[in-house]
C-alpha cells in the first residue's frame, strides 16, 4: 500500500481512519496484515538473515508483531517471538494463530541481533508496568539493534512524552497508517532513530496536521525583475550581526531585493543595500512586500519605536528575537496583513504571558492556542518545530540536525521565512517553506557549522526545490 498523505493524526483520528476503512469493506485482520507485512519489509532490510526477536504485547500492536515475525519466517529469516503477555484482542489472537514460528515466554532470556518492539503501540496512555519495562530493557541489553513498530513502547503518541524513563534508543521507528505527533515532538522524537511510514490506505483526514515537506519552487518568469520577485525590508538595531545573518539567508531564499535599514552599513557585504535614513520615512516605500524585525533589534526605547514603525507597514511582517519580547496585544490591534512570529521556548512563554494564553498542553496545542489568540502565524522553533495558524492549520517539521544548536541559526530561519513571504508565498506556506529550507541547509552543512555557513547553504537548499 502507498503511504497516506503527509498527515499527522492523533490517536482518536487514527482510530476513526481505520474504522472508515473497515466500513468501506476492509477488516481489522486485513489491515493488520497490510501494516505488519509492510513493516516486515523494513525489518528485513536491516536484519536479513541475522537473528531477530519480536517482542509482542496484548493488543493489536502485538498482533502486528506476529504478522512481522511470520513474514520474516517465510523469507527464511531467523526469528522468534517473545510473548510479553498473551494476546487479548481477537485480531491479535488470529495473527498469533497464523504465525508458525517459535513463541518464547518472557523469561526465556533471548539474545539476538535485532529486537522489534511490538509491546504497545500508539494507544498507550500509562507507564509500562515494572515487569514489562524490565522485559523490554533486558531484551534491549541482549540485542544490538532496536526497531519500534508505530511508536516505541512507553511513549505517549499525542504528546511525545516519555511515560517511562530510560527507554532504549531505537535505530528505526516504523510508523503504521499515518504519522503521529510523537514522531515529531520531543522528547519522544529523540529516541526514535530513523522513521519510515507504512501506509494502510487511509484517506486524508480533514483538519489533520501536516508534515513540513519539500516545497516546489520555480525559476522567475522571463520578464522578472528585482521588485517583481519581492522586496524585503529588514529592520536593524543595536546588534548588527544578527540582522546581517538574516539578510544573508533572505538573499538566498527567493526574494529579489533585500534591504537593511540600519544606522550604518557596518561590515555589510557589497551586494546588500543598507539604508541609514529615518526608518519612519524609508518604510513608507510602497514597493516593500514584507518586513522582518527582531534580529539584533535590542530592547531599549529606540527598539520599541522601530518595532512600532515596522508593524505600521501594511505588508506581511515576520517578528523574531527581541521583537517577540517587546510585543504586546495592542501593537497588533490595527494590523490587517499577516504577522509571523518565530519564538523559541523562552520567547514562546513570554508571548503566552503577553497575550494571556495559559501555556497548557503539548507544544502543538500551545502553538495553536497562541496563534488563535494573537492572530499570528506561530513558528514554535527548537529541536522540534511546530507551525500553527489562527485558522487551525498545523504542521510539524521533521527532526533537523542537532548541529543547529549554535548561536545565530534562529536569525537565519527568520530571514528564510521572511524571504519566502516577500517573494509572494501565503504566510503559513512561507513559514513552512522557510523551516524546510533551514533544515535542509543544515543537512547540507554536515557537522559543526556556523550560522554564517548555514546562511550560505540556503541557496543550495533552495536549488533542491526547483
pLDDT (tens digit per residue) in 39-86: 999 999 999 899 999 999 999 999 999 999 999 999 999 999 999 999
Under 8 Å between Cβ of 147 and 117 = yes
- CA atoms within a 13 Å half-sphere pointing along the CA-CB vector of 187: 11
Looking at domain 7-211, its CATH class is alpha beta
Grid coordinates of 176: 503504521
Whether 2 shows a pLDDT value over 60: the answer reads: no
Query: Which residue from 165, 145, 136, 171 is spatially nearest to 55, judged by alpha carbons?
Result: 136
Under 8 Å between Cβ of 362 and 396 = no
Domain ranges of the chain: 7-211, 231-463
How confident is the model at residue 1, as a pLDDT? 41
Three-state secondary structure call for residue 17: helix
Q: At a CB cut-off of 8 Å and minimum separation 6, what does 66 contact? A: 36, 54, 56, 81, 87, 92, 95, 96, 98, 99
DSSP string across 208-260: -EEE-------PPPTT--TTTT-EEEEE--S-HHHHHHHHHHHHTTT-SEEEE
* The overall pTM is greater than 0.75: yes
How confident is the model at residue 5, as a pLDDT? 58
Q: At a CB cut-off of 8 Å and minimum separation 6, what does 146 contact? A: 114, 115, 117, 140, 168, 169, 170, 171, 172, 193
Cell 548561536 sits on residue: 407
Handedness of CA 13, 16, 21, 24 (dihedral sign): negative
- CA atoms within a 13 Å half-sphere pointing along the CA-CB vector of 291: 30
Q: At a CB cut-off of 8 Å and minimum separation 6, what does 251 contact? A: 258, 271, 272, 419
pLDDT (tens digit per residue) in 92-106: 999 999 999 999 999
pLDDT (tens digit per residue) in 377-434: 999 999 999 999 999 999 999 999 999 999 999 999 999 999 999 999 999 999 999 9
How confident is the model at residue 281, as a pLDDT? 72
Radius of gyration of the chain (CA): 25
Is the CATH code 3.40.50.970 the one for domain 231-463? no
Amino acid at each position: 500500500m502507498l503511504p497516506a498523505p503527509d498527515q499527522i493524526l492523533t490517536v482518536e483520528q487514527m482510530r476513526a481512519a481505520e474504522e472508515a476503512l473497515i466500513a468501506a469493506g476492509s477488516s481489522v485482520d486485513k489491515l493488520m496484515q497490510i501494516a505488519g507485512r509492510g513493516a516486515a519489509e523494513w525489518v528485513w532490510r536491516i536484519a536479513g538473515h541475522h537473528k531477530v526477536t519480536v517482542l509482542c504485547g496484548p493488543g493489536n500492536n502485538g498482533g502486528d508483531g506476529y504478522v512481522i515475525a511470520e513474514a520474516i519466517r517465510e523469507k527464511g529469516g531467523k526469528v522468534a517471538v517473545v510473548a510479553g503477555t498473551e494476546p487479548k484482542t481477537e485480531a491479535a489472537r488470529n495473527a498469533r494463530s497464523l504465525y508458525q514460528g517459535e513463541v518464547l515466554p518472557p523469561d526465556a532470556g533471548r539474545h539476538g541481533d535485532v529486537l522489534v518492539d511490538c509491546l504497545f503501540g500508539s494507544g498507550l496512555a500509562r507507564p509500562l508496568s515494572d515487569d514489562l519495562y524490565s522485559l523490554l530493557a533486558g531484551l534491549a541489553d541482549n540485542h544490538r539493534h532496536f526497531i519500534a513498530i508505530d511508536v516505541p513502547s512507553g511513549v505517549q503518541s499525542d504528546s511525545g512524552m516519555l511515560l517511562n524513563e530510560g527507554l532504549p534508543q531505537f535505530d528505526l521507528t516504523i510508523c503504521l497508517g499515518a504519522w503521529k505527533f510523537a514522531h515529531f515532538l520531543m522528547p519522544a522524537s529523540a529516541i526514535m532513530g530513523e522513521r519510515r511510514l507504512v501506509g494502510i490506505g487511509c484517506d486524508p483526514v480533514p483538519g489533520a496536521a501536516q508534515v513540513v515537506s519539500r516545497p516546489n519552487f520555480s525559476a522567475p518568469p522571463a520578464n522578472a525583475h528585482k521588485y517583481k520577485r519581492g522586496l524585503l525590508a529588514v529592520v536593524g538595531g543595536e546588534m548588527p550581526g544578527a540582522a546581517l545573518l538574516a539578510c544573508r539567508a533572505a538573499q538566498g531564499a527567493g526574494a529579489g531585493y533585500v534591504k537593511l535599514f540600519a544606522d550604518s552599513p557596518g561590515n555589510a557585504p557589497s551586494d546588500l543595500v543598507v539604508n541609514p535614513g529615518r526608518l519612519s520615512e524609508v518604510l513608507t516605500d510602497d514597493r516593500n512586500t514584507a518586513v522582518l524585525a527582531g534580529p539584533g533589534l535590542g530592547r531599549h526605547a529606540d527598539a520599541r519605536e522601530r518595532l512600532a514603525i515596522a508593524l505600521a507597514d501594511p505588508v506581511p511582517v515576520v517578528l523574531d528575537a527581541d521583537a517577540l519580547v517587546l510585543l504586546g496585544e495592542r501593537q497588533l490591534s490595527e494590523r490587517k496583513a499577516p504577522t509571523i512570529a518565530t519564538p523559541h521556548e523562552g520567547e514562546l512563554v513570554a508571548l503566552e504571558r503577553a497575550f494571556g494564553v495559559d501555556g497548557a498542553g503539548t507544544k502543538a496545542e500551545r502553538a495553536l492556542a497562541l496563534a488563535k489568540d494573537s492572530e499570528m502565524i506561530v513558528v514554535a522553533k527548537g529541536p522540534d518545530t511546530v507551525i500553527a495558524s489562527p485558522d487551525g492549520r498545523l504542521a510539524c517539521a521533521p527532526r533537523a540536525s542537532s548541529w543547529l544548536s549554535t548561536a545565530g541559526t534562529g536569525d537565519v530561519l527568520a530571514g528564510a521565512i521572511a524571504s519566502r513571504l516577500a517573494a509572494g508565498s501565503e504566510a503559513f506556506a512561507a513559514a513552512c517553506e522557510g523551516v524546510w529550507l533551514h533544515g535542509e541547509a543544515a543537512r547540507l552543512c554536515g557537522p559543526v557549522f556556523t550560522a554564517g555557513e548555514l546562511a550560505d547553504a540556503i541557496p543550495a537548499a533552495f536549488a533542491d526545490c526547483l
